[in-house]
Amino acid sequence: MDGQTAIKVEGICKSFKETKALQDINLEIKHGEIFGLIGPDGAGKTSLFRILTTLSLADSGKASVNGLDVVDGYAGIRRSIGYMPGHFALYQDLSVEENLNFYATVFGTTVAENYDTIKDIYSQIEMFKDRKARDLSGGMKQKLALCCALVHKPDVLFLDEPTTGVDAVSRKEFWAMLGRIKDSGVTIMVSTPYMDEASLCDRIALILAGKIIDKGTPADIISRYPHRLFAIRGGNMFRILKELKVHEGIIRCSSFGCECHVAVTDNGPDASSLLDILEKSGMQGCRVEAIQAGIEDCFIGLS
Amino acid sequence: MKEVTAFIKKEFMHIFRDRRTTLIVLVMPVVQIILFGFAISTEVHDAKVDIVGDPGDPSVQQVVRSIRHNRYLELGEFLNSPSEVNGRIRKGQTMAAICFEDRFDVKLAKEGTASITIISDGADPNSAQIVTSYIKGVIASEQFTVSSSMTGGSQAMRPNVQLMYNPAMNSSYNFVPGVMGLILMLICSMMTSVSIVREKEMGTLELVLVSPVKPFWIILSKLTPYLVLSVVNFISILLLAVYVMDVPVNGSLALLSLVALIFVGSSLGLGLLVSVISSTQQTAMLLCGMGLTMPTMMLSGLIFPCESMPVALQLFSDIIPAKWFIIMVKKIMIQGAGLTSIIKELGILSGMMVFLLWFSIKKFKTRLS
Amino acid sequence: METREKTVEIRNLVKKFGNFTAVNNISFDVYKGEIFGFLGANGAGKTTAIRILCGLSLPTSGEGTVAGFSINNQQEDIKKHIGYMSQRFSLYSDLKVWENIELFGGIYGLDDKQIALKTDSMLKALDLEDSRNMYVRDMPLGWKQKLAFSIAMVHDPQVVFLDEPTGGVDPVTRRNFWEMIYEAASRGVTVFVTTHYMDEAEYCDRVSVMVDGVVEALGAPAELKKLYSAANMDEVFTKIAGRAERE
């Protein structure tokens, strides 16, 4: 194992009764990168996080964090990682400051000692330090949880769906904070169901139904997209979808906000013939242009 | 070590920030004692007792005098024949009647024995039994004076039940040890298990387990606050018992405290076990309420005496820690028994404590699944 | 536009909790068959407003009607004529698929015959005929949400409120879900939906953005993009909600 690798996952499998939560997962996460595990709820993200944070045992396969095995070296791992579970897991009846002090002490440190590590985030909620955690807004709770996960200066930070249910603006702020944490040398493994957050990670893995369906840098994954892709703007989205779905040479069309993305085979229709099809069925004024795929196109293509 | 103190401090914050929990923990013992002591008391106060017999008889006069002096009984009317008693009981004018045989003193002097009949209201068997035993007590104490003043010897009068240690049948003697057992068990098992399961539900246990603090210390710091609270409760119940309920502590206070501590230990073990089994606070509450409290109330001898249970239930009651605790508390507080006479029960309870704590700590998962 | 039938009409709605004003004087109309996106940052007052519209909470002041009934004094009638589905609570996971349909059908006063018919047609439409005896907890999230949506419509409500219906759902199922929304709207059902996916905001006929208890912007996605000179709804939202004072 070389010094570059922070987290290594080899052939991890995990089942709950009949459900195969994880099937043969292999990943390698480098020191100092933001690694995104991207997939919908129920794909197995939390199961994998629990195995890596030593909270749960895999049925088979091996995994290590910072060179320590997740089974044999669990005590060492627990000392060097920070973890933010998917749900808000702080003491609701304790104040902001009390929560932070508690986690600092439990991890054998003090807030003062590591104030630099959390200053950037804590300063945003410090004015509410006497407020009970239950009275905080979603965004502030999230910041407090992040502070608590960071307060002992971990080498590796595990964030399980930190942005689920958070509005678009707060999500952007959160990712900006992650970027600064990464710059201080912390390895971050983060999971998210939002495909648009993929581009903010250094490398990602797409996970669906317990399997990794693709992994690499976002650019790698996009470059592997196998089809030609067109975006159609204007006109009634759901009429366009209905019309094009049945057409030959069209693999798939999906709505993307105000656009409709159409994946076509190599000898399928091009931009002008797509426009023809639409106009023939009475939809005027649409614009069609060839585009590059995004992560969400890739995910849809792979699922 | 600092981790553990931080943990314990946090636990106390949970308790005192939730007004309901604080109330349960600190007020419940007092309320229970008062409730049992005054409202649900099985004692009978100022029960009217009629006398059938010649008011001029010296024996009758002596019995009348002691009924007048008895704080639980009150003198009713003098009746001429036992046939009048029925009507008076039915109308609720009296609780019971003492019927002296015709020409009681004469017969006693001549034949050396004479009979007394006690009639009481069997429609209310509990009170009837208690009043009857009060009367028996009165007559029994009278027996000595009566017989000493006469030549008939000590067998002169028949009823001779003697209640040692609790002549007045003060029901506090029964419920104080019982309530003490119940409350210590509730605080230790229910509060402990609910507080651990709450962290499970909230997901905070996940975070704490990921920390370098060893699970054993997490358990210890979860148990400590409830141990402390039990001590507070033990002291408050004891103070109430002695100063409000007039229950004596005849035996050694140190021994009593030791017994209580061992019982608290076994209850904490039970609480931990419940928290291992249950995944929601409701399950933990139900398990403690139905699975621990009910059997303790029913089978530990608090309400029904163990001796009158079917053999199967008696055997089952043997595995309830509270039963042994209550037996020992009664022996120490009321009989003033020493270590030697409770050694068997103490051994059983200590064994239970060690097993429960060992088993539940072993079963406590250091991981989630 | 003005000639269309209004199914939701809100005037000067205010809701205060103590001295905190969660909803501060909002007014808007929603028309029959419209897909109305109700956006806002966390804590902007969306949930409070939706609770009032669903008849679960009374406004401090202001008035309005939902499905023709007053939010001030006909709350029970409102509940009978709307459907509600939220991401957090939708179905009983320890009941089977058909049992959930039967339960909610019963709750909304359908008789046995109607329930039987509804169950069959619903399972067919969702392609769940083979799964009628499946426990809801064993279903993938996407299926669950689609079933929950259908069940929210079991009594043919005039308005259906969807609170983050697609949170955490995979991209393909998310799009299927929106096709169901479109289908419902085309049948004349008014759809009132909240979401954190800004691409979904584009699918709405009109969108309102709440900031600090006030409706800061209201209009068709195209209008809003033009107004805020933004390329997409994400930018629009960032520009509007980024000004929020309170959290």
What secondary structure, in 3-state letters, does chain C show?
CCCCCEEEEEEEEEEEECCEEEEEEEEEEEECCCEEEEEECCCCCHHHHHHHHCCCCCCCEEEEEECCEECCCCHHHHHHHEEEEECCCCCCCCCEHHHHHHHHHHHCCCCHHHHHHHHHHHHHHCCCHHHCCCEHHHCCHHHHHHHHHHHHCCCCCCEEEEECCCCCCCHHHHHHHHHHHHHHHHCCCEEEEECCCHHHHCCCCEEEEEECCEEEEEECHHHHHHHCCCCCHHHHHHHHHCCCCCC
Q: How many CA atoms lie within 13 A of A62 on its CB side?
A: 8
Average pLDDT of the segment spanning A160-173: 85
Residue of A nearest to C201 (CA): A257
- B79 compared with B38, residue with greater pLDDT: B79
Per-domain residue ranges for chain A?
5-222, 226-302
Class of domain A226-302: alpha beta
Q: Is the pLDDT of residue A210 over 70?
A: yes
Q: Is the pLDDT of residue A146 over 60?
A: yes
Per-block mean pLDDT, blocks of 10 residues, chain C (247 long): 80 92 94 93 86 91 93 90 80 88 87 91 90 87 88 91 88 89 92 90 92 92 92 89 66
Residue B151's pLDDT is 35
Contacts of A290 (CB under 8 A, 6+ apart): A228, A229, A230, A270, A271
Q: Is the pLDDT of residue A112 over 80?
A: yes
Residue B169's pLDDT is 52
Q: Is the pLDDT of residue B148 over 50?
A: no
Q: Please tell me if residue C141 touches chain A, with a CB cutoff of 8 Å.
A: yes
Report the C-alpha gap between C29 and C5 in whole angstroms.
10
Alpha-carbon distances, residue A178 vs A125, A195, B222, B287, C49 (angstroms): 16, 17, 34, 44, 33
What are phi and psi for residue C203, nearest 5 degrees?
Answer: -80, -10
Out of A50, A56, A107, name the one closest to residue B211 (CB): A107
Class of domain C6-241: alpha beta
Which residues of B have a CB under 8 Å from any CB of A?
2-3, 6-7, 10, 13-14, 17-18, 202-204, 206-213, 367-369
Alpha-carbon distances, residue B353 vs B169, B260, B325 (angstroms): 33, 12, 12
Report the C-alpha gap between B154 and B141 in whole angstroms.
11
Per-domain residue ranges for chain C?
6-241
Q: Please tell me if residue A254 touches chain C, with a CB cutoff of 8 Å.
A: yes
Q: Which of C20, C47, C196 to mutate to test the interface with A (most CBs of A within 10 A)?
A: C196
Token pair in block for residue B59: 């024996």
The neighbour count for residue B220, using CB atoms within 10 Å, is 15
Q: Which of A38, A127, A169 to mutate to test the interface with C (most CBs of C within 10 A)?
A: A169
> Do chains B and C have 3 or more beta-carbon pairs under 8 angstroms?
no
Token pair in block for residue B69: 């002096």
Q: Is the pLDDT of residue A273 over 80?
A: yes
CATH of domain A5-222: 3.40.50.300
What one-letter code names the amino acid at B96?
A: A
Residues 167-206 of C with CB under 8 A from A: 167-173, 175, 178-179, 182, 196-203
A208: helix, strand or coil: strand
Q: Which residue ranges form the domains of chain B, and what is each CATH number?
A: 2-40+170-363 (no CATH), 47-149 (3.40.1710.10)
- A173 compared with B148, residue with greater pLDDT: A173
- Measured in angstroms, the CA of A86 and the nearest CA of chain B are apart by 9
Query: Where is average pLDDT lowest: A279-288, B34-43, B185-194, C160-169?
Result: B34-43
pLDDT in tens, B300-344: 766 666 667 788 888 888 888 888 998 898 888 888 888 888 899
Average pLDDT of the segment spanning A198-202: 93
